Structure 1
Amino acid sequence: MLDLRKLRYFLTVAEELHFGRAAIRLHLAQPPLTRQISALEAELGFKLFDRTSRTVTLTAQGRSFLPYARGVLEQVELAQVIAGKLAAGTAGQLALGYVSSIALSDLFSQVIHAFAQRFPDVQLTLVECASGSLGAQVADGRLDIGLSRRLPQSSEVQALSLGQEPLVAALASDSPLARQAQVSLAQLSAYPLILFPADHGSGLNQSIEQLYREHGQPLRAGPTGRQITSIIALVAAGQGVALVPQCAQSLMHKGVTYRPLVEVDACAQLLVLTRDVEKKLSVQAFMRVIGEVADAR
């Protein structure tokens, strides 16, 4: 195997084309440098330099070998840089799971943008998940971080709250309620409510069902949708009403009108889920970024 030190000596002499100047750059005496180059030539089986008392030039084989030697040293330097970044948590891989409604929030896009700018060498894999499986995937290590609206059921997962997001009513634009500035749960209870399927394990469903119970309003179950976009489409089709996070108003679906609720406690939580064990450095870095972005809002 070639000695990296000798390759560096060769590259320096090739750049200087002068053993004396190369020795100064390498902080060596000239005789040891000459011996090392001769040893490298012996290993390679060909001469690298033509030397006279006045000039040093690369041989044809030396010129052909030079880019390969330079490439090896550049890759070694890159490997050292990457190793340092891995040790510092600024390189590697990070798997982030999220529920569909959170992807619509400004916080989500701002965090992804800020993290990618600050840690460009971390490969961020984004995975959309149902709330019911998100916590389990964080617990077993398939996901490093989860963005959810549901508290984890596993004791191995920690949940950090980033606050509450108001819920708004999504209404068919031709509904009488759409002509009001605000609507109440009592008014909405007269309509079928479009939710995620029960097997989805939706944290948003939990918040909505709890809200109806606390305000003593009956909940008329309507059709279900597995994505926030399909729920809005069902509203547009006149199949019922929906309660969605405020960020869902960015889905400007024709035939749908959004209205705030009279009930000020109508909110959905935003949680960051991580494993309750020693976290890898890239997870800690992501948590710092999301905390900074959340605090700045």
Structure 2
Amino acid sequence: MELRQLRYFVTVVEEASFTRAAARLHLAQPGVSAQIRQLERELGQPLLDRSGRSVTVTEVGEAVLAYARTALGAVEGIRQTVDEFTGLLRGRVALGLVSGASIGAFDVPALLADFHDDHPRVEISLTEDTSERMLAALCDGALDIAVIGLAEEDPLPGIALQILIDVPLVAAVAPDDPLLAPPGRTSVPLAALGDRPLISLPRGTGLRGVLERACAQAGIRPRIAFEAAAPPVLAQLAARGLGVAVLPA
């Protein structure tokens, strides 16, 4: 078993294609296929299912994948340790970000640009997704760091957590909404939203998780009428009287 075989295997899984994996690795596709078949022969089990239009991982391959990523990560860690002694920092950092996180308190483009200026040999990748999927990506090694919204303070074992910002949720409504009566009212009980159409982030986001948990504790079933990935869009929908938007303050 060779490290390059593990690297080829992981790349094919990530690309779901031998052709795309070969292009990413800057290699000929037959060579990548041959090395993975050699790895499968050595292990005595197929790691990839080649029968469909895209390449998928078998049950055995799924179990092997975590170890392959760990092995490649260990080798990269050795290289980085040696580089630190020579004053050279390089590698790859995969960052995940919930939609809208770069608005307001977080200037993510500036942060990444400054990091790139300080460490030009470090490859940075950035993706946006739901908190739920990014937690899974952290667990299987596809992401190194994720800025997410959380419904629980301890989401998963093995995940280190640092709170960057903690803000209350608010109900945003149109100026003439009955929830604002009497004038000067600044808060409403959650039960008051039980029969109202709600506007929320999609399922799998931290905000949605907090909303659903709070509603369950209050004994009400939220009626989600509109979903959008960006909080400003939720506010715009509420401003036009389409429902009550649940937003970070």
Normalising to structure 2: TM-score of the pair? 0.52
Percent identical among aligned pairs is: 29
Would you say 1:221 and 2:218 are equivalent positions? no
**Cα distance change on mapping 1:217 and 1:92 into 2, 3 Å:** same
Alignment of 1:1-297 (within 5 A): 90-106=89-105, 108-109=106-107, 113-114=110-111, 116-120=113-117, 121=120, 122-150=122-150, 151=152, 154-178=156-180, 180-185=184-189, 186-197=191-202, 200-214=203-217, 216=218, 218-228=220-230, 229-246=232-249
The answer to whether the 8 Å contact 1:91/1:123 transfers is: yes
Change (3 A) 1:221 1:98: same
Structure 2, gaps ≥5 residues long: 1-81
Unaligned 5+ segments in structure 1 are 1-82, 247-297
Q: CA deviation digits over 1:175-211, x for unaligned, max 9?
A: 23355451212443442222334xx322211212233
CA contact (8 A) 2:171 2:247 kept: yes
Query: Do the aligned partners of residues 157 and 163 (structure 1) sit closer, same or farther apart at CA in structure 2, a change above 3 Å counting?
Result: same
Contact conserved, 1:95 with 1:144, CA < 8 A, in 2? yes
Q: Which has the larger radius of gyration?
A: 1
TM-score by length of structure 1 reads 0.44
Q: Which has the higher contact order (CA 8 A, sep 6+)?
A: 1
* Contact 1:222 1:239 (8 Å CA) reproduced: no
Aligned residues: 159
Q: Do 1:139 and 1:157's aligned partners in 2 also have CA atoms closer than 8 Å?
A: yes
The alpha-carbon deviation at position 219 of structure 1 amounts to 4.2
Whole-angstrom CA distance in 1 between matches of 2:225 and 2:200: 7
Cα distance in 2 between the residues matched to 1:209 and 1:201: 11
Runs of 4+ in 1 over 6 A off after TM superposition: none
Once residues 148 and 245 of structure 1 are traced to their aligned partners in structure 2, the CA distance between those partners, rounded to angstroms, is 13
